[in-house]
Amino acid sequence: MALEVLYAVDHEGAFSNIALNRVLEKYKPEKLDRGFTTELVYGTLRTLNTLDWVLGGLLKKPLEGLPPWIKNILRMGVYQILYMDKVPDSAACNESANLARNYGHAGTVKLVNGVLRNVVRNMERLEFPDMEIDPVKSIAIRYSHPEWLVRRWIQEFGPDATAKLCQANNEIPPNMIRTNTLRISRDELRKNLAAEGIEARPGRYAPESLIIEGFKSVGSIAAHQSGLFMVQDESSTLVGHAVHPKPGCLVIDACSAPGGKSTHMAQLMENRGQIISADIHPHKMDLIRENADRLGIEIIKPVVLDAAELDQQFTGNADYILVDAPCSGLGVLRRRPEIRWRKRPEQIDELHSLQVKILNSAAACLKPGGTLVYSTCTITPEENTDVINEFIDSNGDFFLEDLGGYLPEKLAQMPGTDNLSRGFVQFLPHIHGMDGFFIARMKKRQ
């Protein structure tokens, strides 16, 4: 199962979460096998740089020259040997050889078996590049990130903080959900989940958030089926609080699929008013509708629309607009580990131009005195503070508004959140323990 997913991600460009869900639905494994498969997939993708570095030192020919099936069998085998303590080394070697027999030939079986047994013999003698001599290469290999990304983070944060950030990106993220407060309180939801044998504890910041453990799949949980919660990380949930829409108002969610932030804002509005949930992808409309229907939300209107052309339909109408902009996604690497290998530095500048264009279009849709919130799930200044500064400089009727009154007080005491009073905040995984998100709140002058 894990090999099928890795092949789809590596060779066909699939997204790991979609490919994994597809395979798990296909084979319907038991809970233990499901967990093992998930760990093997995400773990291999997280540590790809390290695995390929280890293999590069043992193979006579370049790893990239091997057939995709064999290359990923080797990667999975090394991951189990180096990182999965409960898997005996002999089992990792034998099962990998069996896979090579199914997906290759006698020569590849011999190769896989020989290389992995060589890893077992030499793993105690592995020496990563020296941090003092070459911090970029050391962090890139030790914590498995592309060198261009490590280099820019060292310039911005310094080597120690960069190492901590990369470590945080390799941690298994918590299963975070947001209580549907239209139907149930967070405490009552905890009791419901406990009755299903699911452990739930409050998140660190957002008042609706819970961390859940001990379940087979989210879709199998009765409380999910009956619309009592939505899967959503805390940093994403805090975006809705930053908007803080009042009941009865008109809200535009400019890039809304799959509807997490739209449905949260509907909760905050007590299901009164209207939310235009716009997205450029027609196939995502059903997803927005399904989530709204399951949660019992009636005020969301999904609309197929390019966010850069919002002003062609909604000029001057909205009380609140959320622009959760398309971005590089570098704040969610722990959830989408393959992103780090697919991004390129030049894409960041391209995204900056698109983000400014969307913000300018959204701004034209706002009433005087209205609120415009900009958010991303990335941590690059070019996509965050640079976008906001460029927008404010070219739109004199907008100003940044203090975020302190809209986000939980606990956040104000955390390191790195000293910009709340200036109207924006950057969450970082290694500091705040949640996905890397940027949020800015702006007001249009009366």
Active site residues: 377
From the CB of residue 154, how many other CB atoms can be counted at a distance below 10 Å? 17
What's the CA gap between 439 and 428, in Å, rounded?
12
- Contacts (Cβ under 8 Å, ≥6 apart) of 112: 70, 73, 74, 77, 96, 97, 99, 100, 104
Mark out the alpha helices in 304-344 (DSSP H runs): 339-342
* DSSP calls for 230-264: EE--HHHHHHHHHH-PPTT-EEEETT-TT-HHHHH
Do 15 and 336 form a contact (C-beta atoms < 8 A)?
A: yes
Listed in sequence order, the residues at least 6 apart from 180 whose beta carbon sits closer than 8 Å to its beta carbon are 227, 228, 229, 230, 263, 267, 295, 296
How far apart are alpha carbons 35 and 38 in whole angstroms? Answer: 5
Name the residue among 194, 206, 263 with its Cα closest to residue 233.
Answer: 206
Residue 282 carries which DSSP code? G
* Tokens matching residue 207: 């008042």
Angle 158-161-166 from CA coordinates, rounded to 5°:
115
